[in-house]
Amino acid sequence: MPPSAAAEAPGPAGPPTPLTVELIPVLRDNYVFVLHDGRRAAVVDPAEAEPVRRWLEERGLELEAVLHTHHHADHIGGTPGLLHRWPGARVVAARADRERIPFQTEGVVGGDQVDVLGQQLEVLEVPAHTRAHIAYHLPGELFCGDTLFAGGCGRLFEGTAAQMHAALKRFAALPGSTRVWCAHEYTAPNLRWAARQRPGDVAVAQRLAAVQERRREGRPTIPSTIAEERATNLFMRAADAAELADLRESRNHWSG
């Protein structure tokens, strides 16, 4: 029988397989994010190697890339261990952090497009939590590290309130349905603080109740969405850098 022409001809390229995004809880309150197509995977901010290696191996996934948002140990600590297991994996990080993330193989700057499993991720420069912090965006998904948190924002270790305000405005301009994959489970304390700051705010109170219910069930509150953050995140709602600075100061000293 002649071979089928249809079977022989290379098919049209077609759209890339949509990626699945999942999270792995590690350490006390960190999340590592996995993007995969069922066969190949990329991870964002692996705080630890072992739980990530196990998670990938249990699902038969091959690690192709590690993406970093910033240099803190709870975001890069697992990378050397993962490279030991998958020596061919690419390591994407801010070029400006090449000394603090020395195992990077692809230094990126704002506006770069990073190909991850056939999808293009845009690099956003969002200095504030650290001076070289970056975020990754693809349609519908935002990996924002320690810049935006659900109901909060990162501490200003190396940047200014003005920089954080600019970063949050930039995120706020993304479509409301964009999922926010932030790197820590701080949502309940953030919203308890927010509810104390804005006692009459119904949207904040309702979100706090929903988040506390999720936590009682032992479930992550991540991802949130840009629409939820616009509505209930006091830092994202801040009119200007001065208001954000006041909120940051208040949140730093709050231990409720």
Residue ranges binding Fe ion (CB under 5 A): 74, 146
133 binds Zn ion (CB under 5 A): no
Q: How far apart are CA 51 and CA 156, in angstroms?
A: 29
184 noted as active-site residue? yes
Instruction: Tell the burial category of 143 from Cβ atoms under 10 Å away from its Cβ (0-12, 13-18, 19+).
Output: buried
**Is position 112 annotated as part of the catalytic site?**
no
Using the rule CB under 5 A, is 237 a contact of Zn ion? no
Rule CB under 5 A: say whether 45 interacts with Zn ion: no
Q: How many C-alpha atoms does 1 have within 13 Å on its Cβ side?
A: 3
Site string for Zn ion, 144-163 (x = CB under 5 A): --x-----------------
Instruction: Report if residue 72 touches Zn ion, rule: CB under 5 A.
Output: yes
| CB of 143 vs Zn ion, minimal distance in Å | 13
Which residue is it, tokens 């993406």?
67
How many Cβ atoms from other residues are within 10 Å of residue 234's Cβ?
22
What is the distance in angstroms between the CA of the first residue and the CA of the last residue of the chain? 76
Q: For residue 74, indicate whether it is catalytic.
A: yes
> Is residue 75 among the annotated active site residues?
yes
**CB 39 → Zn ion: shortest distance, Å?**
31
What does 228 interact with, of Zn ion, Fe ion, none (CB < 5 to 8 A by kind)?
none
